[in-house]
Amino acid sequence: MNTFKSIMSWVIPILVGLLVAELVKIFLFAPVKVDGSSMYPNLQSNEYVAVLKQAKIKRDSVVVFDAYGVDHQNAAITKDTKYVKRVIGLPGDRVEYRNNGDLYVNGKFQSQSYITKSQQKNGTLQLASSLDPASKVTLGTGKAFTVPKGQYFMLGDNRHESNDSRYYGFVPEDKITGVVKVAVWDGKRDVINSFATN
């Protein structure tokens, strides 16, 4: 009997700890590994970031979302495929990408200081010939579009390489896993999202 009590005295705390860890992962935050160059140079392939599942999604937030059922052009998508992208347009936003690379959301200029001028203009406006453009996303001066209710318009920071909303369209809110966060001491906190600015 003493042996059983002794074993249970360390088994129960371990089980409780594992249960708490799993609940935190499911409901609060989880580590995610960046795979690919679509967010370069702000996020590197194989870099780990934290995803806060309860954080508010804002314009310019970097988020993780479930690509299955969103990106129909990529044959390699599985039910486990996640994409990391930056939110450019929130539900109801009117987005215009002008020919010079300037971004206007609801008539207000957005700086996009997290990417180069070349990425703002050429990277965004010159679409890949290997992918079909999204039918409801129009780019260029005077070609504004409205993000539908309950959906988001997202782009990768490495616009030349990114497969994003320009090709698969808007991302439904229920596909978003959470907001990417980097630590306050990380030099990229101003271009991603800082834990300090939840």
Q: Quote the CA–CA distance of 147 and 145 in Å, as a whole number.
A: 7
Query: Residue 22 pLDDT more than 70?
Result: no
Helix, strand, coil content of the chain in percent (nearest 5): 25, 25, 50
Q: Reduced to 3 states, what is the DSSP secondary structure of residue 104?
A: strand
Q: Quote the CA–CA distance of 25 and 4 in Å, as a whole number.
A: 31
The per-residue pLDDT for 28 is: 57
Residue 18's pLDDT band (boundaries 50, 70, 90)?
low
Q: Is 113 a catalytic residue?
A: no
What does the block give as tokens for 3? 């042996």
- Per-residue pLDDT tens digits for 45-73: 998 888 888 789 999 999 999 999 999 99
**Catalytic hit among 85, 175, 181, 188:** 85
Q: Is 130 a catalytic residue?
A: no
Query: Residue 162 pLDDT more than 90?
Result: yes
**Catalytic hit among 5, 33, 37, 38:** 38
What does the block give as tokens for 186? 């990380």
Query: Residue 27 pLDDT more than 60?
Result: no
Q: Quote the CA–CA distance of 171 and 64 in Å, as a whole number.
A: 11
Q: What is the pTM of this model?
A: 0.82
What is the sign of the dihedral through the CA atoms of 84, 169, 155 and 178? negative
**Contact assessment for residue 98 and residue 108, using Cβ atoms and an 8 Å cutoff:** no
**Contact assessment for residue 124 and residue 159, using Cβ atoms and an 8 Å cutoff:** yes
